[in-house]
């Protein structure tokens, strides 16, 4: 089975990548990479490329020949001109504070249109430095009450148009049938 390095240690992302791609995924822990990769891009694609190229260079230095997958994703709200966008994971200041991020988004959307979408850009970065990327989106609206599993980002306040429930309430199978990441991964799967 083909092995690909995923430029992440996020257990939720790893699970989704494995379930959808059906290839062996090596994480950053698996390859011994423990540094934080600074996301300095201004777009989802730029951030995914920063992660992918950084890990590809690390693999070359270690004499390992694996392709690298990297993604950047976030939630975008039309009434907030696309916020939080690329800052989704650190919207409230501290990286990865899901509750604070959700609270800030709900507060910023008070008395505004709640229409929003999740977006995911995934890069497949080859050993030779060439790459392909795919993008997926899924639409819904932000709700004020947290419903379902609260452990992953904005899932519990994102009411999916297609599912009629929050991603936090959805099973893995339901979420993987409509999610932004699943849509991008299904396109990447065609070229792996």
Active site residues: 72
Q: Which of 72, 185, 49, 168 is nearest to 120 (CA)?
A: 72
Burial of 148 from C-beta contacts in 10 A (0-12 / 13-18 / 19+): middle
Q: Which two tokens stand for residue 186?
A: 């299904």
End-to-end CA distance of the chain: 12
Measure the CA–CA gap between 115 and 72, rounded to whole angstroms. Answer: 21
The residues, any chain, with a CB within 8 Å of residue 18's CB and separated by 6 or more, are 25
Q: Which of 79, 78, 109, 103 is nearest to 91 (CA)?
A: 103
Q: Is 112 helix (H, G, I), strand (E, B) or coil?
A: coil
Q: Which residue's entry shows tokens 């988004």?
A: 105
CA 41 to chain CA mean position, Å = 15
């Amino acid at each position: 089975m083909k092995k690909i390095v995923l430029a992440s240690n996020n257990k939720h992302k790893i699970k989704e990548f494995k379930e959808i791609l059906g290839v062996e995924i090596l994480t950053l822990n698996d390859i011994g990479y423990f540094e934080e990769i600074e996301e300095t891009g201004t777009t989802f694609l730029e951030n995914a490329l920063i992660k992918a190229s950084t890990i590809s260079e690390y693999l070359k230095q270690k004499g390992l020949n694996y392709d690298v997958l990297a993604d950047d994703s976030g939630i975008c709200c039309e009434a907030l001109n696309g916020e939080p966008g690329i800052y989704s994971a650190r919207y409230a200041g501290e990286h990865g504070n899901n509750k604070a991020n959700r609270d800030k988004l709900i507060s910023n959307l008070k008395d505004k249109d709640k229409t929003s979408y999740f977006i995911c850009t995934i890069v497949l970065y080859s050993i030779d430095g060439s790459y392909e990327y795919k993008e997926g989106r899924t639409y819904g609206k932000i709700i004020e009450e947290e419903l379902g599993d609260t452990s992953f980002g904005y899932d519990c306040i994102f009411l999916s148009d297609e599912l009629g429930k929050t991603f936090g309430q959805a099973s893995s199978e339901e979420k993987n049938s409509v999610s932004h990441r699943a849509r991008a991964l299904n396109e990447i799967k065609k070229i792996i």
